[in-house]
Amino acid sequence: MAPGTWHGDWIGQRLPPAPCWRPPHPALRSDAHHNDFGGLPALYLRRAFRLDRPVHRARLHATARGLYRASINGVACGRPALTPGWTNYHRRIAYQTHDVTDLLRPGDNALCAVLGEGWFSGRISEHAKYPAGHYGAQPWYLCQLALDYEDGTHERIVSDQAWRVSHGPIAYSDLLNGEVYDARQELEGWDSPDYDDRSWLAVTTKPRDGTVLEPEISPSVCVTEDIVPTVVLRSAGRLLVDFGQNLAGRVELALSGKSGAAVHIRHGEMVDAEGRIYAANLGRAAQADTYVCAGDGVRRWEPSYTIHGFRYAELTGIENIDIQSVSARVLHADLPVSGRFSCGHPLVQRLQQNIRWGLRSNLQSVPTDCPSRDERLGWLGDAQLFAGTAAAFFDVRQYFAKWLQDIWDAQAADGTIPDIAPFISPAFDFFADGAPGWADAAVVVPWTLWRRYGDTALIARCWQPMMAWMDNLERRFPDGLRRGAGNDYGDWLNLDAPTDVALIATSLYAQIASMMADMASALGRTAERRRFAACFKRIKASFGTHFLQDDARLTSPTQTAYALALSSGVVPTHKRARMTRHLVSEIEARGRALSTGFIGTRYVMAALSENGHADVAYDLLLRKEYPSWGYMIEQGATTIWERWNSYGDGFAEPGMNSFNHAALGSVGQWLFEDVAGLRGVTPGWSEIAIRPHFDPRIDWCEAEQWTPCGPASVRWGFSGGELSVRVNIPAGVRAKVLLPATRDAIRQQGDAPVARTCSLVGRRPSTVASIGSGYYNFMVRL
Ligand code: BGC
């Protein structure tokens, strides 16, 4: 809808901005549910109208400064759960368009909405919501029902002073704290046309201002799966439910109870030694819901505008309540699946599953660090590190395109990029000057999307803000030596192996300079390509002078330093092999284990496998002792932990210890690209490479990746002294196949599913085939 075509006003009910809010009017009934964090009751909004002639087509355009759920005649419009998503609401707000033609009927109709606070005026992170909420003191709703009649005439019903408002059963519903729902306050039939709303209040209105209203481009957060508990433990007055999976979502109950009986639900990722919800790592996110029964039979209920990170739920207060069923509703951005990975080793199989669950939990309205504690922020570092892995599992093209806009909205006039987007001032001012590896998402994410989807229009749109960031860096670090900035997280959460922050910052600077040169070239921006090629050279020279020694050691000789240097193009070719040996020695010195934090973990496996040490990478992958991904799994992890030592002889320091952090799951990209061996060569994957690193310890491996032309897949496996590699290449894609030279080289196999065969016999040292679309089967005799 074009900007000028909105006609309604924002509607709501003005509420006093007091921490302990009490209803100002008897119609806004909410007897006991004021609360000490200032959560507001949800608003129930309705507008009755008559249709006196047949409707050909009807569209509802709707949004909120807050979160809304719209319905017509009691039927929900669409199935989004937390809508609209989080943006800088002062600048832009996304709206949704629902086809509601089938929901209307001749005669009386009711257009309704339930309005909650969400990020607009609810709590965000650890910051208190008051005095004014982060974006405003109360939520507002805006909608427009566009009616096209069969007789060719048109009509609009918009949000305006004709609407009525009341409070209802949702006493408050806060993203972090949870919801209180009092079924005794339900407004029976409130969303049907014949409901008598004369006792309701008139809404207050607020004119639209210059805030951009734009169609939502990213898939909304929805319920994507329901999970039934694996274990339910009952003890006096208490039910402990284990869903067997750490996730982001909420609990749905079917229950009945005496009027006034209340069940309280606490959510946690872990339980303590006494079998109680472990809440110490949640900070000030209460993650607690309350349902008060109305005493009128079995009801099914889930909260509305809250989301929790949990595997366990503890229900108390159930003495007078019959809980008939409990399930977990999984919530995240409803992204299309774009890839699958599986293999013959149970640990690795579980790892890829945990990575996927880590992504599902953190690809929320914005990519978050974790879905549980009082943080849940769009940390740029985490997202840029897992962007490649996310793109392997899900189609994130629109998702990240939306979040990039959040980054640009957060960018300062001098080009500075913060650590977090969406960014709120003054609450987040401490994070305004983005740290290396965090702010660099501004280049890494557009580059990742462009490589994956081949969308040059996207990088053209991002060009100006990316340039502003690069100009900023060049102004600050003209000689290419980047000394770090902002909070300088360095190799965040490494294991007693801190890396010189300037070394990390300079390597990452080289990395983004070369990405900029690539993108300039794709956009035909020759002068800028030259500029960034020269910038890269300068950085590489500085890196050589300041950090690189003659024997290919680095001045800060950590695993992360070596892995990052090898991956950033700053190491001269003749020093790469030696440097890789230093990396391997560092790993061996730790007992063949990692000491890497967020940054190093993203690069270390590929640095090994691409430089001839895939065996060491496999050792790390298959390791079960601390520290390793396998260790997390051995401890029962169903997602990726924030720290290698989140749990050991007890819980790690609770201030910052989530069990569902996606960052260390960045190894997923390596599983697809180097274990399965499937990666794009050209932007948009018109050409791909099949280059697996085989290891009999995992027996077989299979992966599929959707290219813009269709699915490409690889399956390799060992059997009877042979290694077979099956490849499927979609139409319009070419593939280079790189297989190891073996004693007997490679022979083709002509069994049934093979559509084409290639002769690869006798090519050494590595065997390469260049193939077009079709099914292929290669055999390597071992
Ligand atoms: C978050 C991280 C984030 C970091 C910045 C933490 O509290 O959870 O994942 O990147 O802060 O260092």
pLDDT digits (tens, 9 = 90+) for 48-101: 999 999 999 999 999 999 999 999 999 999 988 999 999 999 999 999 999 999
For 517-585, the DSSP string reads HHHHHHTT-HHHHHHHHHHHHHHHHHHHHHHB-TTS-BSS--HHHHHHHHHTT-S-HHHHHHHHHHHHH
Tell me the CA–centroid distance for residue 119 and ligand 1, in Å. Answer: 19
DSSP-assigned beta bridge partners for residue 44: 114, 166
Say which of 269, 302, 642, 673 is annotated catalytic.
642
Whether 616 and 587 have beta carbons less than 8 Å apart is answered as: yes
Q: What phi-psi label fits residue 387: left (phi over 0), alpha (psi between -120 and 50 degrees) or beta?
A: alpha
Q: Whose CA is nearest to atom 9 of ligand 1?
A: 369
31 Cβ neighbours under 8 A, 6+ residues apart? none
Question: pLDDT-based confidence at 18, cuts 50/70/90?
Answer: very low
Minimum-distance ligand 1 atom for the alpha carbon of 381: 10
Bridge partners (DSSP) listed for residue 223 = 331
Q: Quick check: 386 and 374 in contact, CB under 8 A? A: no
Q: Which two tokens stand for residue 677?
A: 């061996």
Q: What SS3 class is residue 381? A: helix
- The dihedrals phi and psi of 477, each to the nearest 5 degrees, come to -130, 65
- Per-residue pLDDT at 458 exceeds 70: yes
Look at residue 54 in the predicted model and tell me its pLDDT: 97
In the prediction, which pLDDT does 4 show? 66
- Any idea what DSSP says for residue 420? B
**Index of the ligand 1 atom closest to the CA of residue 492:** 12
Rounded-to-integer distance, Cα 450 and Cα 445, Å: 9
Q: How far is the CA of 379 from the centre of ligand 1 (A)?
A: 7
* Nearest residue by C-alpha to atom 3 in ligand 1: 379
Separation CA 585–CA 579 (nearest Å): 10
Q: Residue 561 above 70 pLDDT?
A: yes
Is there a cis peptide before residue 627, judged by omega within 30 degrees of 0? yes
What would the mean pLDDT of 699-708 be, rounded to a whole number? 96
Q: Which of 483, 488, 346, 505 is nearest to 419 (CA)?
A: 488
Residue tagged 């009999």 (tokens)? 696
Out of 130-134, 374-378, 517-521, which region has the weakest mean confidence (pLDDT)? 130-134
Across-strand partners of 704? 340, 713
Q: Residue 752 pLDDT more than 50? A: no
CB 58 within 8 A of CB 148: yes
Which segment of 489-498, 586-595, 630-639, 730-739 scores lowest on mean pLDDT? 730-739
Atom from ligand 1 closest to the CA of residue 663:
9
188 catalytic residue (yes or no): no
Q: Across the chain, what does the average pLDDT equal?
A: 92
Query: How much distance in Å is there from the Cα of 339 to the middle of ligand 1?
Result: 27
Contact 522, 450 (CB under 8 A): yes
**Residue where the block lists tokens 């959560």:** 39
Query: Which residues does ligand 1 sit against, CB inside 6 Å?
Result: 369-370, 375, 379, 381-382, 489, 492, 656, 661, 663
Give residue-wise pLDDT tens across range 197-222.
Answer: 999 999 999 999 989 999 999 999 99
Grade residue 23 by pLDDT with cuts at 50, 70 and 90. very low
Nearest ligand 1 atom, CA 658: 8
pLDDT given at position 237: 87
Higher pLDDT, 765 or 481: 481
pLDDT at position 188 over 90? yes
Q: Ligand 1: distance of its center to the CA of 467 in Å?
A: 26
From 508, 622, 625, select the one nearest 563 (Cα to Cα). 508
Is the pLDDT confidence value at 700 over 50? yes
The ligand 1 atom nearest the CA atom of 379 = 10
d(CA 268, CA 274): 14
Rounded Cα gap, residues 470 and 415, in angstroms: 8
C-alpha pair distances (Å), 760 with each of 49, 548, 696, 715: 73, 41, 22, 18
Give catalytic status of residue 625 as yes or no: no
Given a cut of 90, whether residue 31 has pLDDT beyond it is: no
| Residue 780, amino acid | V
The closest alpha carbon to 327, from 265, 376, 418, 273, belongs to: 265
Q: Which residues are CB-contacts of 2 (< 8 A; sequence separation ≥ 6)? A: none
| Structure-token match 């921490």, residue found | 19
Number of H helices, E strands in the chain: 14, 33
Its sign, for the CA torsion 18, 24, 28, 31, is positive
The secondary structure of residue 429, as a DSSP letter, is: G
Cβ-based neighbours of 253, under 8 Å, separated by 6 or more: 263, 265, 291, 300, 301, 302, 323, 325, 326
Q: How many angstroms separate the CA atoms of 684 and 740, rounded?
A: 27
Mutate to test the pocket of ligand 1, among 125, 126, 366, 369 (most ligand atoms within 8 A of CB): 369
Whose CA is closest to atom 12 on ligand 1?
Answer: 489
pLDDT over 80 at 768, yes or no: no
- Cα(241) to ligand 1 centroid in Å equals 29
Nearest alpha carbon, ligand 1 atom 4: 379
Tabulate helix, strand, coil % of the chain (nearest 5): 30, 30, 40
Q: 409-438: per-residue pLDDT in tens?
A: 999 999 999 999 999 988 888 999 999 999
- Which pLDDT belongs to residue 750? 39
* Centre of ligand 1 from the C-alpha of residue 382, in Å: 7
Q: What is the 3-state secondary structure (H, E, C) of 640-707?
A: CCCCCCCECCCECCHHHCCCCCCHHHHHHHHHHHHHHCEEECCHHHCEEEECCCCCHHHCEEEEEEEE
Burial class (CB in 10 A: 0-12, 13-18, 19+), 4: exposed
Confidence of residue 3 (pLDDT cuts 50, 70, 90): low
* 3-state secondary structure (DSSP) of residue 7: coil
* Residue minimizing CA distance to atom 5 of ligand 1: 489
For the residues of 722-767, what is the DSSP string, one character each? EEEEEEEE-TT-EEEEEEE--TT-EEE---TT-S-----TT--SEE
Hey, what amino acid is at 700? Answer: W
pLDDT (0 to 100) of residue 128: 64
Q: How many residues does the chain have?
A: 782
Side chain identity, residue 284: R
Quote the CA–CA distance of 5 and 22 in Å, as a whole number: 37
Which of 22-36, 107-121, 386-400, 720-734 is predicted with the least confidence, judged by mean pLDDT?
A: 22-36
pLDDT at 574: 96
**Identity at 409, one-letter amino acid code:** D
pLDDT tens-digit series, residues 468-509: 999 999 999 999 999 978 899 999 999 999 999 999 999 999
Among 368, 393, 383, 355, CA closest to 633: 355
- Report which DSSP code applies to 407: H
Q: Which tens digit of pLDDT belongs to each residue from 215-267?
A: 999 999 999 999 999 988 998 889 999 999 999 999 999 999 999 999 999 99
Of 117, 269, 375, 528, the catalytic one is 375
Nearest one of 662, 658, 661 to 647, comparing CA atoms: 658
197 CB neighbour count, 10 Å cutoff = 18
Q: CA-based diameter of the chain, in Å? A: 87
Structure tokens at 572: 């001269």
Average pLDDT over residues 618-634: 98
| Residue ID of nearest Cα to ligand 1 atom 2 | 369
Q: Cα–chain-centroid distance for residue 255?
A: 33
Secondary structure element (H or E) that encloses residue 313, with its range: strand 308-316
DSSP string, 589-625: HTTS-----HHHHHHHHHHHHTTT-HHHHHHHHH--S
What's the 479 CA to ligand 1 centre distance in angstroms?
A: 30
761 has pLDDT over 90: no
Which residues lie across from 98 on neighbouring strands?
60
Distance CA 206, CA 406 (A): 25
634: exposed, middle or buried (C-beta count within 10 Å: 0-12, 13-18, 19+)? middle
Are 267 and 659 spatial neighbours (Cβ–Cβ below 8 Å)?
A: no
Query: What is the Cα gyration radius of the chain?
Result: 28
Report the pLDDT value the prediction gives residue 708, as an integer from 0 to 100: 92
